[in-house]
Chains A and B, each alone.
Chain A
């Protein structure tokens, strides 16, 4: 019984972090209606940013947020503005522009290989820091401190983003764009600026996810791919474009991954996750929290 509780807690903590890594994906999709294949790569870039900030400054890993979040916002903003926007404009009559997907795939390959060239294939993990390897021990039960911090950050970030979309003027403008681009433009919203901001926001949230991962995970050029696939599953599970859906979807995947291996071999839990993914697609294609009309 105690094992089950311990595993469920680990699943919820790790799952919230998975949800956080997928949150940026769902934000970008919700607004641009584009599946961003470069999402894992953005996470990788953020992890390198966080890794270098922490290892060069020697500060507490979470202080890297102060640098990583604005840097990644700017990175995302201009990636959209310079690379993706021209394609978007060329396809402006299409609701879900598919060539943009190809462009993001290009961004993925270019950035991954550029990182490989510049930093090499090494696996980097942070030198000693206040979070590394820390555990809360409750009798037989172990709770990972860096994961706990990560989970709290994930929930807080999701709330903040949700609040931003619901209550602020910019947030409403972003939602207006996602509902109907043309109507939003007619109301005086500069839709391309909104897209830049949404992309920047999605990338900044990915930056937060990277900061939570760096204290206990390795940084290497292809790290994004591992979280990428998971991110897509989580987002579809929770509902594309849904913010609470991303976190809940993440927690579901996390619990399956953590509790499952106690009853079977770890390789089988992957099959269960994919099975559930297919089931959701059959039964409720819009995902658990997705609505027929976005937002």
Chain B
């Protein structure tokens, strides 16, 4: 017993000493910058994790091929991946490992908000800058942390942008909207969004004529559609899962419900099979997404084509955020001209990225506010319509990202 305790104590002491010795010189002679990425590579979110990995790989290959970080003598970016399996505890332990054993300079991750939330706390404790490409939960940037920087728009901004879009449409097409109807699935997501809609509607002076949750498992939505029809709303805002999105869209068309616009919130309406299942009934529907392949930004089409040739499918909103993150890191490193994590953190906080291959997003700049949130981030709004190639999703808002030559149809004929 005594013997064991002695050896254990020695081992711990030895580790501590070696830790002290090796952290110092390790930072000096480096020629690569280590970026640790904690993403779900197995488990339920593995497919999105893989997309994020692909996008990161592509960006880093481009950066290294273009000469790496010039202010650091052409230092290359080195990627280290850790699998979170979508589990918070795995995220935390992998962050500890990447920081203490691998000595990463920067961390990124973790896609699942539930993993990102505790993992960012680890990075904050060690003072390692942590870039969050996508994890939309509001609270991630509301912890008062200094080392957390998020690229994607947060939860509450989606609803904010739906209302900003509504306002812009009214001015652009000179059609007033007064009465809103909220119809949403009866889960955390739907109820959360509807709660924010209510606040925004009050602020913007809309009249809410219908506020209706419904069970996603409903086999008949005509009672709900009847309520929408009788409410005589101008605009209908929806949060739906897959089967109910199809059923609602078809039933709305059957009952010839007259609305100026329908604005959906991704989910079932963004499902790849949605347009196929409802056909022409989906026409003129608006939907809010992170990014769409037709976005009117220089380089977007080429980047998407390159990605598709490499991996076989289009870039998604999540993948674009991961891609942009790498360019944000590169930009910060160039300005920091240092391997020191505090210098990198400071440079990240001062980010104002407006051009370069990374800027294929729908907004004009990446800049972080005091909480570390990218203050320019905003989702885009698409309209489903036939612009000559059958029904497709066409980016319409913000105006700077609108597909060239397309005029949105508002109000709905």
Contacts and interface: CB of A to CB of B under 8 A. Distances in A.
Given A217-B219, A217-B247, A262 B227 contact: yes
A258 interface: yes
Given A220-B243, A265-B213, A267-B186, A258 B220 contact: yes
B277 A218 contact: yes
A270 interface: yes
Interface string B215-246: 10111101110110010000000000011001
A230 B227 CA distance: 23
B243 A123 contact: yes
Contact of A260 (B217, B223, B243, B277): B223
B253 interface: yes
A269 B253 CA distance: 24
A14 interface: yes
A218 B247 contact: yes
Contact of A142 (B242, B246, B255): B255
Contacts of B255: 135, 142
Contact of A216 (B227, B250, B281): B250
Contacts of B214: 265-267
Nearest to B218: A266
A226 interface: yes
Contacts of A217: 219, 247
A124 B277 contact: yes
A265 B212 contact: yes
B387 to A, nearest CB: 22
Interface in A114-163: 122-125, 127, 133, 135, 142, 144
Interface in A216-253: 216-218, 220, 226-227, 230
Interface string B261-275: 000000000010100
A267 B226 contact: no
Nearest to A264: B212
B222 to A, nearest CB: 6
A7 B226 contact: yes
9 contacts: A10-B223, A18-B219, A125-B278, A142-B255, A144-B222, A226-B219, A257-B220, A257-B223, A267-B213
B254 interface: yes
A6 interface: yes
Given A14-B220, A217-B247, A261-B227, 15 more contacts: A3-B226, A14-B222, A18-B219, A122-B276, A123-B243, A123-B277, A125-B277, A133-B253, A135-B254, A257-B223, A261-B223, A261-B224, A266-B223, A267-B214, A270-B215
Of the listed residues B222, B246, B271, the one surrounded by the most CB atoms of chain A closer than 10 A to its CB is B222
Contact of B242 (A14, A123, A259, A260): A123
Interface of B: 186, 212-215, 217-220, 222-224, 226-227, 230, 242-243, 246-247, 250, 253-256, 271, 273, 276-279, 281
A7 B254 contact: no
B240 to A, nearest CB: 12
A260 B227 CA distance: 11
Interface string A5-26: 0110010001000100000000
A122 B277 CA distance: 9
Nearest to B230: A3
A49 to B, nearest CB: 19
- Contact residues on A (Cβ < 8 Å of other chain), bracket: 20 to 34
Contacts of A267: 186, 213-215
B226 A262 contact: yes
A127 B280 CA distance: 11
Contacts of A266: 212-215, 218, 223-224, 227
Contacts of B279: 127
A259 B227 CA distance: 11
Contacts of A144: 222, 254
Contacts of B230: 3
A53 B217 CA distance: 26
Contacts of B215: 266-267, 270
Given A133-B253, A265-B212, A266-B214, A230 B219 contact: yes
Contacts of B281: 133
A226 to B, nearest CB: 5
Interface string A22-45: 000000000000000000000000
Contacts of B242: 123
A261 B227 CA distance: 8
Of the listed residues A7, A122, A123, A124, the one surrounded by the most CB atoms of chain B closer than 10 A to its CB is A123
Nearest to A268: B213
Interface in A61-109: none
A266 B224 CA distance: 7
A258 to B, nearest CB: 5
Contact of B250 (A14, A133, A230, A262): A133
A76 B223 CA distance: 34
A267 B194 CA distance: 15
Contacts of A218: 243, 246-247, 277
A122 B255 CA distance: 25
